[in-house]
Structures are given as structure tokens and as C-alpha cells.
Structure 1
């Protein structure tokens, strides 16, 4: 994983945290987490 990929993963994780914090939606969190896993792999 390159530094750019790592930075992207961190940004996605931050976005996930904000989305969960704002919506408190477990379903949304699962969907976003799935997207992150797909983008990283």
C-alpha cells in the first residue's frame, strides 16, 4: 500500500466516523465500511 493509498484510507475512515457520528446509522456504517474494504483491496 502506497502513502497515497494510505492517506485515502484514512480520509475514508474519517468520513465513515463523521457519517456514523452524525447519523448513528449502523446500516450506513456497514455500507461505507464495505466500500472502504473494496477500495483498499
Structure 2
């Protein structure tokens, strides 16, 4: 399942510049941190 979602998401990331991808990752880090906290 995870491989399928990775394959489906790939083209969306391909259109982003390196700066845009960095911005996206930085924006998602608080959400990822919160999810890790809940999972622990």
C-alpha cells in the first residue's frame, strides 16, 4: 500500500522546484512531529 501511494504522489512532487519542495517539507514538519507524539 505504501509503495502505491508513493508511486501516485511522485508526479506531484516532480513539478515542484527544490525551493518549493523544501518549503513544503518545512511546512509539514509540525504535523509530522504531532503525529509522532500521538503515536508514541
| TM-score, length basis structure 2 | 0.38
Bigger Rg over Cα: 2
- Larger relative contact order (CA 8 Å, sep ≥ 6): 1
Q: TM-score, normalised by structure 1?
A: 0.37
